[in-house]
Structure 1
Amino acid sequence: MTTNEISMLAIGITVGAQMMNVLNAYWASRDARRSETQAVAALKQATGDRYLNSLRLYQLQHRTEARR
């Protein structure tokens, strides 16, 4: 191999490594965003479930008081 070819090989490897670092950073940020969205959705779901459970308990308590 000539010196020019060796230089091009080294530059290609370096550029490829840089591109992989950029892609990995992008994928990590996208995964973090997706995880945050899922966490917010799970929190909303849990809050709604807790509200519905307390509402059901309230309704049951008041139903038995009305019959007394």
Structure 2
Amino acid sequence: MQHQHITTVTTIIPSGPDSERYAQSIRIGERDQDLSGLASVGYSLAHTTTIPGPGCVTIIDTLTRHAND
């Protein structure tokens, strides 16, 4: 029987003045590492959504992986 595993990666990126650029770069780099790590164990990106908010943007990535039992 085949099961599907679902996981999410949530990244909060500060938005604002140029002084936030370093923090933005760090968060984007962390997101890239998280997604690469999950891809290396068989997860595929299924959906990405962004949610703008006051002072930040939230990115939610949904990943899936098929596993046989």
Higher radius of gyration, 1 or 2: 1
Q: Relative to total residues, which structure has the larger helix share, 1 or 2?
A: 1
Question: Shared fold (TM-score greater than 0.5)?
Answer: no
Calculate the TM-score normalised by the size of structure 1.
Answer: 0.37
Calculate the TM-score normalised by the size of structure 2.
Answer: 0.36
